[in-house]
Amino acid sequence: MASGRGLRRPVVLLLTLALVGGGIYTAVSFLQRSETFVSERCTAVIDSQTAELATDQAVNASLITAVAVQRGLPPRAASIALATAMQESKLRNIDHGDQAGPDSRGLFQQRPSQGWGTEAQVMDPYYAANAFYNALVKIPDYQSMEITDAAQRVQRSAYPDAYAQHEDMGRFFASGLTGQSPGAVHCTLRSPDGPGDTAQVAAELSQAYGPLAATADGQTLTIEANGAQAWSLAQWAVANAKGLAVTNVDVAGRSWNRAGGKGWQVSDTTGSQVRITVSPATSDS
Q: Identify whether the C-beta of residue 168 lies closer than 8 Å to the C-beta of residue 49.
A: yes
The pLDDT of residue 20 is 47
Q: Identify whether the C-beta of residue 217 lies closer than 8 Å to the C-beta of residue 277.
A: no
Q: Identify whether the C-beta of residue 224 lies closer than 8 Å to the C-beta of residue 244.
A: no
In the predicted structure, residue 21 carries a pLDDT above the cut 80: no
Q: Identify whether the C-beta of residue 197 lies closer than 8 Å to the C-beta of residue 144.
A: no
In the predicted structure, residue 1 carries a pLDDT above the cut 50: no
Sign, Cα dihedral of 21, 25, 26, 31: positive
Helices assigned H by DSSP within 181-283: 198-209, 227-239, 241-244
194 residue type, one letter: G
Q: What is the mean pLDDT of residues 206-213?
A: 95
The pLDDT of residue 66 is 98
Across 72-81, 110-119, 169-178, least confident range: 110-119
Rounded percentage of the chain residues whose pLDDT exceeds 70: 83
Burial of 112 (0-12, 13-18, 19+ CB in 10 A): middle
Q: What is the mean pLDDT of residues 269-281?
A: 91
In the predicted structure, residue 17 carries a pLDDT above the cut 60: no
In the predicted structure, residue 231 carries a pLDDT above the cut 80: yes
Confidence class for position 11, pLDDT limits 50, 70, 90: very low
> Closest Cα partner for 81 from 119, 116, 129, 124?
129
The pLDDT of residue 101 is 64
Confidence class for position 115, pLDDT limits 50, 70, 90: confident
Q: What is the pLDDT of residues 123-143, one digit of tens each?
A: 999 999 999 999 999 999 999
Confidence class for position 30, pLDDT limits 50, 70, 90: very low
The pLDDT of residue 271 is 79
Higher pLDDT, 195 or 161: 195
